[in-house]
Amino acid sequence: MQLFLDEIEQATPAGIAAALGRLISSGRLAPGERLPTVRELAGELGVSPATVSHAWQALSSAGLIVSRGRSGTFVRQPATSWLPARTQSLAGHVSDTRLDLSRGTPDPALLPALGPALSRVSQRAMTPSYQAVPVIPELLTVLTGSWPYRCESITVVDGALDAISRSLEQVARFGDRVIVEDPGFPPFFDLLDQMGIERLPVAVDAEGIVPGAFQAALASGPAAVILQPRAHNPTGASMSAERAKELARLLSASSRAANTIVIEDDHSGAISTSPDVSLGSWLPERVLHVRSYSKSHGPDLRIAALGGPAALVDRIVARRMLGPGWTSRMLQTILHELLTDGASMAQVNEARHVYFARQKALADALTGFGLPLPRADGINAWVPVADERDAIVRLAASGIRVAGGSPFLASERPEAFIRVTAGALPDDVLPVAQAIAAAAGVPAT
């Protein structure tokens, strides 16, 4: 009990939760250790049981403790799950919360309605042949016309990660090196770890990968580069055409990277407010460009387009023929209708404007509370904090869930961050921004 009393500086729900969060994060409270009862701790602190109960609820929401009924409340054991390590940490602990800003998923209310598109789908799940071309012609025409550069071949796969995974399988082998953004998307790191590929972290700024860091990493002879040209997850940065041109120049000039392939993940597509950009505009023979429709049209569509040199795309298509074969032509028909129907296009356009407004409102409000934050593109924002775990717990005590920044970091660094899904913000941003600023450690004014 004395351990708890020595650590708690403020006997409020947020103060109690933050103190226990520090004890758990530092290892002074081990997984499986039993916590004092609500009444025991309340009596020692001289507060109401409701105060401690609210702190316990915040810690449970943050995934740090678990109640086992009459047996008591315990520090949560590390979860075993079918999810990869970093992806598991992103998933967090599922429990009721007032506002969930941790998921990195689009606002369901801003996705285009599927009714009209579904009406175009055949009533029977037939296909002309198991060996038919994998992309329906009408969708291929739309994709080709909207691609950011002229590429030799485009196919359709089951989402962005499917595209990234299958691309890596064709260009990298066990023991190879691959350049990744730092911070970057955690499932990329999990994927590379599972493939036995060494990650080469490179820094990003407001325009994407930093050229100097990129040039240094190229000297290691990477097999591939994975980058996000727009609405970078988690920072929300989008690459300028000038930066893309500079990266392409550095890649061309590096003798150690003569065979390096660039894999681009344009996951936000039509909801990004930034111009479409790709290194393929300068190096079409060395770029595999992926455009996902999860953020703009719906994650459960599980569909993305993959374009690049015919030799590489054909190998990816051939390998898929020995697995799923092709992406459902019913889903392709739905996507084609969503990309060409006027009402659907207007809904996606409106979503882009709403996300822009929410990002701007969050950046403006945080700046007003003493936490300057540039406006991000897409649906995520990257917020610096004094202590990651403390910020997560304090926000949980306020009924707000966010994602910790650690899984997004490809290298160790002293700074701490949280990722906030700004795309899920309510209309009244000020109270949320105030809670985030306080949790980040900004002194109250």
User: How many Å apart are CA 57 and CA 49, to the nearest integer?
Assistant: 12
Contact in structure between 86 and 417 (CB atoms under 8 Å)? no
Extract the runs of DSSP E, i.e. beta strands, from 33-151.
65-67, 73-75, 99-101
Q: What pLDDT, on a 0 to 100 scale, did the predictor assign at position 173?
A: 94
* Same domain as 124, residue 20: no
* Tokens 């920072």 belong to residue: 235
* Same domain as 64, residue 132: no
Residue 384 located in a structural domain: no
CA dihedral 205, 366, 188, 250 (to 10 degrees): -10
* Same domain as 296, residue 157: yes
Task: Residue 60: give the domain boundaries.
Answer: 1-78
* Same domain as 151, residue 66: no
* Same domain as 151, residue 34: no
Q: How far is CA 397 from CA 28, 47, 145, 214, 301, in A?
A: 21, 16, 49, 40, 35
Three-state DSSP class for 290? strand
Entry pTM: 0.85
CB within 8 A of 97, min separation 6: which ones?
61, 396, 399, 400, 401
* Same domain as 305, residue 191: yes
Element at 183 (helix H, strand E): none
Q: Report the CATH number that the domain containing residue 337 is assigned in CATH.
A: 3.40.640.10
Q: What pLDDT, on a 0 to 100 scale, did the predictor assign at position 90?
A: 66
How would you classify the pairing of strands 208-209 and 198-205? antiparallel
Total structural domains within the chain:
2
Q: Report the CATH number that the domain containing residue 73 is assigned in CATH.
A: 1.10.10.10
User: How many Å apart are CA 284 and CA 3, to the nearest integer?
Assistant: 61
Last residue of a domain, one of 342, 361, 391: 342
CB within 8 A of 123, min separation 6: which ones?
none
Counting Cα atoms < 13 Å in the Cβ hemisphere of 11 gives 13
36: left (phi over 0), alpha (psi -120 to 50) or beta: beta
Contact in structure between 23 and 29 (CB atoms under 8 Å)? yes
CA angle 295, 172, 233 (to 5 degrees): 25
* Same domain as 73, residue 23: yes
* Same domain as 250, residue 183: yes
Residue 18 located in a structural domain: yes
Residue 71 located in a structural domain: yes
Query: What string of pLDDT tens digits covers the 445 residues of the chain?
Result: 677 677 787 888 878 888 888 888 777 888 888 888 888 888 888 888 888 888 888 887 777 888 777 778 888 776 556 667 666 666 555 556 789 999 999 999 999 999 888 888 887 777 878 888 899 999 999 999 999 999 999 999 999 999 999 999 999 999 999 999 999 999 999 999 999 999 999 999 999 999 999 999 999 999 999 999 999 999 999 999 999 999 999 999 999 999 999 999 999 999 999 999 999 999 999 999 999 999 999 999 999 999 999 999 999 999 999 999 999 999 999 999 999 999 999 999 999 999 999 999 999 999 999 999 988 999 999 999 999 988 998 898 888 999 999 999 999 888 999 999 999 999 999 999 999 999 998 887 6
| 299 upstream amide cis, omega within 30 of 0 | no
Contact in structure between 315 and 288 (CB atoms under 8 Å)? no
* Same domain as 132, residue 61: no
φ/ψ of residue 143, rounded to 5: -65, -45
Last residue of a domain, one of 289, 313, 342: 342
The encoded tokens of residue 161 equal 């990660």
